[in-house]
Amino acid sequence: MSLDKDTVKKLAHLARLDLPDDELQHLAGELTHILEFVEQLAEVPTDGVAPMTSVAHMDLYRRPDQVTDGNYPDKILANAPDAMDGFFLVPKVVE
């Protein structure tokens, strides 16, 4: 796949880049080389290769799910500017 000056100009506009016209042809060549390299990656056989998120296998530490603090809503709601029936009252934001 090769890019021309018009395509690079459109990409620059979408990326909000102000590129001078004399650089468009050079950038078209650079972007074409990048796309050719990406096309080469599609030719690599990946059958039987499991997807991965990291090159090193890692297991995340998981702590037990247990309550360690809390269960005193009266103390928490004492800091609220306005509360009702055990809940914070906030101003309506949807009109």
Q: Encoding tokens for residue 30? A: 């650079």
By residue range, what is the domain housing residue 19?
5-42
The answer to whether position 36 is within a domain reads yes
The answer to whether position 16 is within a domain reads yes
40 has a pLDDT exceeding 80: yes
The answer to whether position 17 is within a domain reads yes
- Centre a 10 Å sphere on the Cβ of residue 8 and count the other Cβ atoms it contains: 22
The number of folded domains in the chain is 1
The answer to whether position 28 is within a domain reads yes
The answer to whether position 87 is within a domain reads no
The answer to whether position 67 is within a domain reads no
pLDDT in tens, 46-95: 888 888 877 887 888 898 888 777 788 889 999 999 999 989 999 888 87
The answer to whether position 65 is within a domain reads no
Torsion over CA: 5, 10, 14, 20 (sign): positive
The answer to whether position 83 is within a domain reads no
Rounded Cα distance between 54 and 43, Å, is 22
